[in-house]
Amino acid sequence: MASDHVSGNMKRVIIALALTGTFMVVEVIGGILAGSLALLADAGHMLTDTMALALAAVAFNVSRRPADARRTFGYQRFQILAAFVNGLSLLFIVGWILFEALRRLISPVEVTGTTMLVVAGAGLVVNVIAFAVLHGGDRDNLNIRGAALHVAGDLLGSVAAIVAAIIIIYTGWMAIDPLLSIAVAFLILKSAWALVQQSAHVLLEGAPAWLDRDELQRKIVERVPEVLGIHHVHIWGLTPQDLMLTMHVKISPDAPHPTAVVRRVKATLEDDYGIGHSTIEIETDECADH
C-alpha cells in the first residue's frame, strides 16, 4: 500500500517535470525572439525548477529500494534529503531574484511587452496544470511539498510577468517588472524557509512537533498497570509519516507475562500515535545503562 502511494507521488512529479521542462525550452525561444532578458531569466529559474523536480522524482524512486545490510532502515530518508536540497535551492533562487531585481531597478532593461505577455500567459497555464497535479498528491510528504513549492514559485512568477507585461504595454514603465519580482521573492521565501526547517528537523532525528512525550508516557502507565515507569524515550522518523521509537519500560517483577505487557504498550503506541516501529527494553530492576 505504501509502495503504491510512493508510486502515485512519483508519477505526479514526473508529469510536472515534463510540463516544466518542455515550457522552459519554449520560454528560451520566446526570450530570444523578443530580446527579453526577463523571459530568459525566468527560463533560467525554470531550469533550476526542472532540476529540482528531477531530484524529487529520483528521490521517490530510490526510496522504494528495500532495506539491505548497509541501509537497514531502507532508503525512505532520501526523500527528506531531496526536500532539504530543494528548500535550499529555493532560498538561492530568492536571493538571485532579489539581486537581479535591484540590478534592473538601477539599470532598467527594455522588454517587449506583447511577446512577454503571450509567453507568460502560456507559462501560467502550464504552471497551473503542474501545480494541480502535485497538489493532488500527499500533502504531508516533504518531497512533494518541495516540488510543489518550486512550481508555485513559477506560477507566481508567471502572474507577475503577465501583470508587468500589461503595465509595460500601456505605460512603458519598465520598473514594474523588478518590483513585482521582489514581491514574488518574499512570498516564496516564507514557504522555502519552512521547508528547510522541517526537513532539517527530520534529518536531525527530531521528534514530531505535535507529539507530547510526557503525555505519551503517562498514557502508557495509565493503560498498562504492570508498567511502573518509563525512561530513555527517543522518538524520530525516517519521514514525518514513518515514526519510530525506542524506550526502557520498568515493569512489576510480579508481572506474569512480560511479552503480553510489551504487546499492549506497542498497541497503545500504534493506535494513538501511529508509531508502527518501536523497540522496547524491559526492566524489572535498575536500568542496565546506569
Q: What is the pLDDT of residue 6?
A: 65
Fold held by 2-203: Alpha-lytic protease prodomain-like (1.20.1510)
Residue 285, strand partner residues: none
> CATH for 213-283?
3.30.70.1350
Q: How far apart are CA 84 and CA 95, in angstroms?
A: 17
3-state helix, strand, coil in the chain (%, to 5): 70, 10, 20
Q: What is the largest CA-CA distance in the chain?
A: 86
| Residue 240 backbone dihedrals phi, psi, to 5 degrees | -60, -20
DSSP run (H or E) holding 52: helix 37-63
Tens place of pLDDT for every residue, the chain, 290 residues?
455 566 778 888 888 889 888 888 887 787 777 666 566 666 766 777 787 788 888 888 888 888 888 888 888 888 888 889 888 988 888 888 888 888 888 887 777 788 888 888 988 898 899 899 888 777 677 778 888 888 888 788 788 888 888 998 898 888 887 888 788 788 778 878 888 999 999 999 999 988 999 999 999 999 999 999 999 999 999 888 889 999 999 998 887 888 999 999 999 999 999 998 999 999 988 888 86
Q: What is the pLDDT of residue 165?
A: 86
- CA distance to 8, 80, 95, 128, 228, per residue, from 16 (Å): 13, 19, 24, 10, 53
- CA distance to 198, 207, 233, 238, 280, per residue, from 246 (Å): 22, 12, 6, 14, 6
> Domain extents for the chain?
2-203, 213-283
User: What global pTM score does this model have?
Assistant: 0.77
Q: What angle do CA 96, 50, 167 make, to 5 degrees?
A: 55
